[in-house]
Amino acid sequence: MASGSGLARKNFMVDATTVRALKHALKVSTESEAVRIAVRDRLAIEEAQAAFGRIRGRGGVDDVFQRSAPDQRGGKNGRATRRL
């Protein structure tokens, strides 16, 4: 995620009640700060989803420690290998 210190004034039409609720939910002092946090967090989610997609495209993750399915057996040394 790109980090920049430059802020730019933008003009958006948003639901005032929703922005106020966001401000209170995030416990910040300004609506502008709430919107900046929401945008930053959404971009982080998009970046994480893209990374998960790349991992999935490479074949996923092997559950080598059996933490997601401890009751499944049958793999090497009595341990199941499960692709997540």
The answer to whether residue 47 sits within a structural domain is: yes
**SS3 state of residue 78:** helix
**pTM of model > 0.75:** no
Q: Would you list the DSSP string of 2-64? A: --------------HHHHHHHHHHHT-S-HHHHHHHHHHHHHHHHHHHHHHHHHHHTT--B-T
pLDDT tens across 7-39, in order? 999 999 999 999 999 999 999 999 999 999 999
Both tokens of residue 84? 């997540």
| Calpha distance 11→18 (Å, rounded) | 16
The pLDDT of residue 75 is 54
The pLDDT of residue 1 is 47
The answer to whether residue 29 sits within a structural domain is: yes
The answer to whether residue 34 sits within a structural domain is: yes
The answer to whether residue 4 sits within a structural domain is: no
Residue 35 is part of which domain span?
A: 16-78
The answer to whether residue 1 sits within a structural domain is: no
The answer to whether residue 11 sits within a structural domain is: no
The pLDDT of residue 68 is 73
The answer to whether residue 42 sits within a structural domain is: yes
pLDDT tens across 36-81, in order? 999 999 999 999 999 999 999 998 888 788 777 655 555 555 555 5
As for how many domains the chain has, the answer is 1
The pLDDT of residue 64 is 81
The answer to whether residue 6 sits within a structural domain is: no
